[in-house]
Structure 1
C-alpha cells in the first residue's frame, strides 16, 4: 500500500502527457487531465508573550505540501457527463494548520498526515440542457466541492495558481459544507439566462466539526447554498461580475453563549452541542477586468457567529480587496502577479469564548487579548518557457495572528511549483 501514491503519480503523469483526450471524427469521447502542486513555506521566529493549545508556534518553522489530481471526464450522451477525480495529498501545514483564521496555505488540510494519501475528491454526474434565447440548465449530483461552483472569482479563487491564503481563495465567513479535505456529497443546479445565473445546492455536512465523515440524515444535518450572479459589459468593453451568496447550515453545533456561561475551568464548545442548531451567512463577491492587462477583485462576508464553526475556518466577518497584473504589461505574456489585503474578525460571543480560554478546531491562545486579523499577500507567477510548469514566490504578512494582540506579526514566505497537463 505504501507504493500506491507513487504508482498513482506515475500513472497520472504517463497518461496525461501521452493522451489528453481521445477523439473520433472531431467528437470528443473523453478528457484526461493532470495537475500537481507543491508549496514550500517558511516563517521566521516571531514574538509571542504566551502560546495556547491551538496557537501558531512562534519558533521558526518550515513545511512542505503536495497535491496531485487526475481528472477524467467522460461524455455519456447529449449534455451528459461523468467526472472521476482521484486526488493525492501529502505533507503538512505550518503548526498543523492551526493558529490563524486566514491560514496561509490553501493547499493544506487539518489532518496531520504527512505521508501521501490517495482519496476520492470528486465523482459526479452532470446533465446540461440548452434552451433558446441563451438559456441553459445544469444539474450535478455526486461528490464535489462547493467552491467548484460557488463564489468563483477571476483573480482570487484557486490556491494552486493564485492567492494562497484561506480568506482570499473564498469568502472567509462562508462556513461551506465539506469534510476535512474540502469535499461534500449533494446535488447542485444552475439556471443561466442571458447575463444572469442562479445556482443552488443541497449538500451534506460533517458529522463533527471539521470531521472527515459526512452525515446523510438530512433532517438533522444539511447545508443549503444559493447564489445569484450578474455579468456586466461596460462601454469600453471592460467586463465585470458580481455575485451574492447566501447559506444556511443545520447541524448538531455547540453554542458560544452557553459555553461561556456554563464552565468550571475553561469553556468547552463540544459540551454544548445539540441537534437543530443553525448558522446563517451572506457574501458579496465582485471582479473587474480591464482588457487583458489588469483586474480588480473584492469580497465581503458575514455569518451570525452564534453557533460554532463547523466546516471551513474560524472567521465570522471578512473583507478582502486585491489587484491582478498580467505580464503582457512588461512583455512577459504568460506571467502574472497579485497583491491583496484581507481582514478577519469574530462575533462578540465567539470573542468572549476565546478570551475565556476556549478552543475551536483552528484557533485558541488561552487568555486571548482580542484583535482583528489583518493580512497582506503578494505573489508573482513565472511561466517556465515551453512547458506546462509555473513557479510562484509568495509573501504574506499577518498582523495580530490568531486574533491575539499579544502575539507579534508573522512573515510567511512560500515557493509554489505547479504543473498541469
Structure 2
C-alpha cells in the first residue's frame, strides 16, 4: 500500500499541466441537505501550494429488542436483544499542485461490531458497518487520488472549501478526471437528501441504490479511473474500477482488463419555480469470477449439500453482471425536498461487493429546521422496498446460504422447511440536532419487515443514536 500511495503522489506532480481552474467531481460536490456543518476556514499554503485540511469523527450506536424468530440459520439476524456500534475518524488532506491539478489523501481509522457479523438483512442498518472489523481500531488508506480538470468556455461556478475540495472558480463546461483510490459512490449516484450515513439516513438502501453492486473492496473503496463531462445542466460520467479478488473480499484484483466494474451515468439538473432538482440514469457492468445461482442450486441438489454456502463450489469462470437505475430529487420549498431511487440488477449471479438485493426502491424526504427556528437541525423520512431475483430465491429455498443471508435451519430437513420469501420493507426516520458548533447529535429509528426477505421472521425495530463532529 505504501508504494501505491507514493505512486499516486508522484503521478500528481508528473501530470501537472497548464489548463485553467480545476473542477470538483462528485466525490466532493455532495451538497448534503442534511449536513448542518458548513465548510470551515481550513485552507492555507505550503511552499506556495494551496492546501486544505479537514477531519470528521462519527460514533453510531444501534440496538434492537428480541423479535419473532421461529427458526434461524447460519446467516440469520440473531433474534435476541442486541447492540451494535461503529466509530470512525477520517482526515482529508488536499493540495493543489498546479492550477488545474489537485491531489487528496484520506487516512481513516474504524472500529466497531455490526449486528450478527453483518448477516441477516438485505439492507443493513448502518452504512459505516461495512468498514468495521471488531473492537480493535484499524487504520488504512480510504482515498489517495488525483483530480485533473480541463475547463472550457462557460459560466463561472464557485466551489467552496470542503473536505476533498479546495475552493476555486471553475467553468460550467468542463472535463474532470479522477484517478487513484476512491469510492465509486464518490463520483456516482449523488443525492442531496440521502447519501452519507454519517449525517443523513443510516441504512445501506439510502446510501445508494441497494441493488447497485458497485465494484469495491470490503470497506467500500477501490482503485480506478473516472471521467466526468459537465455541460451546463448536464453531467456525463463513466469509470472503470478494480473488482475484489473474491466476492466481498478485502483484496483487489489488479488485472483490470479481466476483472472490473464499469458504470455510466447521465444526469440532468433543472429548476421548477427556482427550486432545484435533477434526474439521473445509471447503468453498470461487472466482470469477475462469481457463482451463478442456477449452478449453485444444481450443486446443492446433486451433492445433498443443503445448509451450506454452495456458491463457493461453483465459482469457476468469469461472469458478467449488469443493472440499471433511476434517481430523481426535487426541492419542494427552500427547506424541504423529496427523492426517489429505483434499480434492478439481472439477478443471475451472487453479490460481488455490496448488498444482497436484486431490485430496490427507496423514497423519502428531507426537512431542515428553519421553520421552527433551528436552521441547522434536519429531519429525514424514508421507505425502502428490497427484492431478490427468482434465481437467488430458488437457491435459498433449496437450502443454500450466500454471503450475508440464509435462514435455512441446519441440519436441513428438506422442502418442509422451505422459507416463504417476500420483499424486505424498511422504514427509516432520523432527527439531527446541532448541539454545539461543528458537533451534531442524531437519533434514528428503523422498522424492518421480512428481514432477509423471510416472511416468518421479524419485524425488527432498530433504535440508534450518533455523534458526529467535523473540523
> TM (normalized to structure 2)?
0.83
The structure 2 residue matched to 1:41, chosen from 40, 52, 62, is 62
Distance across 2 between alignment mates of 1:206 and 1:331: 48
Aligned CA distance change for structure 1 residues 112 and 88 (closer, same or farther; 3 Å): closer
Bigger Cα displacement from structure 2, 354-363 vs 44-53: 354-363
Whether 1:242 and 2:279 are equivalent positions in the alignment is yes
Aligned CA distance change for structure 1 residues 270 and 82 (closer, same or farther; 3 Å): same
The structure 2 residue matched to 1:74, chosen from 83, 95, 98, is 95
- CA-based RMSD of the aligned residues comes to 1.6
Whether 1:258 and 2:295 are equivalent positions in the alignment is yes
How far is the alpha carbon of 1:28 from its aligned partner? Answer: 7.0
Kindly report which structure 2 residues correspond to 1:272-421, keeping only aligned pairs within 5 A, or say none. 272-366=314-408, 367-385=418-436, 387-421=437-471
Deviations 1:258-288 (A, max 9, x none): 1112222226111111332010001111111
Q: Is the 8 A contact 1:111 1:180 kept in 2?
A: no
Structure 1 alignment gaps of length 5 or more: 1-17
How far is the alpha carbon of 1:219 from its aligned partner? Answer: 2.9
Distance across 2 between alignment mates of 1:28 and 1:378: 43
Distance across 2 between alignment mates of 1:291 and 1:73: 35
The structure 1 residue matched to 2:204, chosen from 143, 150, 166, is 166
Kindly report which structure 2 residues correspond to 1:47-66, keeping only aligned pairs within 5 A, or say none. 47-66=68-87
Q: Is the 8 A contact 2:383 2:427 kept in 1?
A: yes
Distance across 1 between alignment mates of 2:252 and 2:227: 21
Distance across 2 between alignment mates of 1:19 and 1:240: 29
1:7 — aligned with what?
none
The structure 2 residue matched to 1:229, chosen from 267, 287, 299, is 267
Distance across 2 between alignment mates of 1:295 and 1:24: 41
Q: Is the 8 A contact 2:49 2:97 kept in 1?
A: no
Q: Is the 8 A contact 1:220 1:275 kept in 2?
A: no
Aligned CA distance change for structure 1 residues 110 and 400 (closer, same or farther; 3 Å): farther
Distance across 2 between alignment mates of 1:111 and 1:309: 19
How far is the alpha carbon of 1:23 from its aligned partner? Answer: 4.2
Distance across 1 between alignment mates of 2:316 and 2:389: 20
Deviations 1:346-388 (A, max 9, x none): 0001001111121111111004321110000000000113x10
How far is the alpha carbon of 1:220 from its aligned partner? Answer: 2.1
The structure 1 residue matched to 2:237, chosen from 156, 174, 199, is 199
Deviations 1:159-200 (A, max 9, x none): 000000001110011001000000000000000011000000
Distance across 1 between alignment mates of 2:270 and 2:177: 25
Deviations 1:92-129 (A, max 9, x none): 11111110010001111276322111000000111011
How many residue pairs match? The answer is 401
Kindly report which structure 2 residues correspond to 1:107-146, keeping only aligned pairs within 5 A, or say none. 107-109=128-130, 112-133=133-154, 134-146=172-184
Local SS of the residue matching 2:135: coil
How far is the alpha carbon of 1:292 from its aligned partner? Answer: 2.2
Q: Is the 8 A contact 1:237 1:291 kept in 2?
A: no
Runs of at least 4 residues of structure 1 off by over 4 A? none
1:14 — aligned with what?
none
Structure 2 alignment gaps of length 5 or more: 1-39, 155-171, 409-417
Distance across 2 between alignment mates of 1:334 and 1:241: 24
Local SS of the residue matching 1:333: strand
Local SS of the residue matching 1:402: helix
How far is the alpha carbon of 1:325 from its aligned partner? Answer: 0.9
2:43 — aligned with what?
21
Distance across 2 between alignment mates of 1:160 and 1:294: 20
